[in-house]
């Protein structure tokens, strides 16, 4: 039986989790509210908050799991991608603790961990499966052959879909983080009210820079005619923007499933918490005879549960790190 302590600090959530023999027992997250006043994550402030939170949250998660430090067999931590300063806090803490306890470290790729979040709770997908990973910094279509073998079928050529949500929300005057606000407003709006142009990208890749430009020019034109246009049409604008972004995601996902001949379909990452995306995926599953998998809400955003379960698989595979491993903000997949 292996006990893995997982630590996540890639952006603005400090999180710790314990995985005992492949079962995540608890997952604690300290969210940093300080960034709201700046309309986005401030890297230096994020690093300081991680330093403030990491000891209390690790202590708390161990107490809740009713284990002591001496029971831990390995420490898994996020090596990248992410903010350099934030990654440094988590990786330095993990390596220092591992050195003191004379146990191995397990560096984890943040985006691969999002995929493996599907193995925390039932139901779990069977290999191989297609996973659409959607977050603030990444949009990828993956063929997942095993816990340690994932093949990129397509990915964004510029912005991620999470950025498109947040920047569109900013254009609408919504507070940070804007993605969840658009999702909330969209439920009360008409998704067919407004149309926005979508970038045409070959194969299974994505591009979200064009739609942001389309939204910007559309709003600029309409506001010149009526300065109250956004407020008067806020719900419909949110619904139309969300509908367009989800359409772009689903078009390539359907193509990937057909191309690979796979009906096990999963979504992961922060944007997988979007209710509109979840609803659309459920609808498509009925049409295309898919078996779909979506993590619990707490495992969609950045969390240590996914780092701990990733550590479990890597531990079983004998893939350990070195104390000389440095954080990689742009860690290759």
Residue-wise pLDDT for 71-100, tens only, equals 999 999 999 999 999 999 999 999 999 999
Query: Is 29:307 a contact under the CB 8 Å cutoff?
Result: no
pLDDT for 252 equals: 97
CA gap 90, 289 in Å, rounded: 42
**Residue 69 CA: distances (Å) to CA of 72, 77, 98, 113, 329:** 6, 16, 10, 23, 29
Domain 3-116+299-316 belongs in CATH node 3.30.420.40: yes
CB 258 within 8 A of CB 252: no
pLDDT in tens, 162-220: 999 999 999 999 988 888 999 999 999 999 999 998 888 889 999 998 898 999 999 99
Angle between helices 178-186 and 161-171 (to 10 degrees): 80
pTM over 0.95: no
**pLDDT tens-digit map of 274-331:** 999 999 999 999 999 999 999 999 999 999 999 999 999 999 999 999 999 999 999 9
Q: What is the DSSP letter of 156?
A: B
Residue labelled with tokens 């389309």: 214
User: Does the pLDDT at position 40 exceed 90?
Assistant: no
| Mean pLDDT (whole number) for 12-28 | 95
C-alpha dihedral sign at 34, 40, 46, 48: negative
pLDDT classification of 30: cutoffs 50, 70, 90: confident
pLDDT tens-digit series, residues 145-157: 999 999 999 999 9
Q: What percent of the chain has pLDDT over 70?
A: 100
d(CA 61, CA 29) in angstroms, rounded, equals: 10
For the chain, the domains span: 3-116+299-316, 124-294
Would you say the CATH fold of 124-294 matches that of 3-116+299-316?
yes
Cα 61–67–73 angle (5° rounding)?
A: 95
The domain over range 124-294 is classified in CATH as 3.40.640.10: no
Whole-angstrom Cα distance, residue 89 to residue 15?
A: 12
């Amino acid at each position: 039986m292996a006990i893995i302590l997982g630590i996540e600090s890639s952006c603005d959530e400090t999180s710790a989790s314990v995985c005992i023999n492949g079962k995540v027992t608890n997952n604690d997250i300290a969210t940093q509210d300080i960034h709201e006043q700046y309309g986005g994550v401030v890297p230096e402030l994020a690093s300081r908050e991680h330093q403030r939170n990491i000891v209390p949250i690790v202590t708390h998660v161990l107490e809740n799991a009713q284990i002591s430090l001496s029971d831990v067999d390995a420490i898994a931590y996020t090596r990248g991608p992410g903010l350099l300063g934030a990654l440094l806090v988590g990786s330095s803490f993990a390596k220092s603790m591992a050195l003191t306890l004379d146990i191995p470290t397990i560096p984890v790729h943040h985006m691969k961990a999002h995929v493996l979040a599907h193995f925390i709770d039932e139901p779990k997908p069977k290999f191989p499966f297609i996973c659409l990973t959607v977050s603030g910094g990444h949009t990828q279509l993956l063929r997942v052959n095993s816990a340690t073998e994932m093949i990129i079928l397509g990915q964004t050529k510029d912005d991620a879909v999470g950025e498109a949500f947040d920047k569109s929300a900013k254009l609408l005057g919504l507070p940070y983080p804007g993605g969840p606000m658009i999702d909330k407003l969209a439920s009360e709006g008409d998704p067919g009210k407004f149309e926005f142009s979508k970038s045409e990208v070959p194969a299974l890749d994505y591009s979200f820079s064009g739609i942001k430009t389309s939204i910007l020019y559309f709003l600029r034109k309409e506001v010149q005619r009526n300065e109250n246009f956004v407020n008067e049409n806020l719900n419909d604008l949110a619904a139309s923007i969300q509908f367009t972004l989800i359409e772009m995601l689903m078009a390539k996902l359907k193509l990937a499933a057909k191309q690979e001949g796979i009906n096990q379909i999963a979504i992961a990452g922060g944007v997988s918490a979007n209710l509109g995306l979840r609803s659309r995926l459920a609808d498509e599953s009925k049409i295309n005879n898919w078996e779909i998998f979506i993590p619990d809400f707490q495992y969609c955003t950045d969390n240590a549960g996914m780092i701990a379960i990733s550590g479990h698989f890597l531990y079983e595979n004998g893939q350990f790190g070195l104390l000389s491993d440095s954080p990689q903000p742009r860690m290759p997949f």
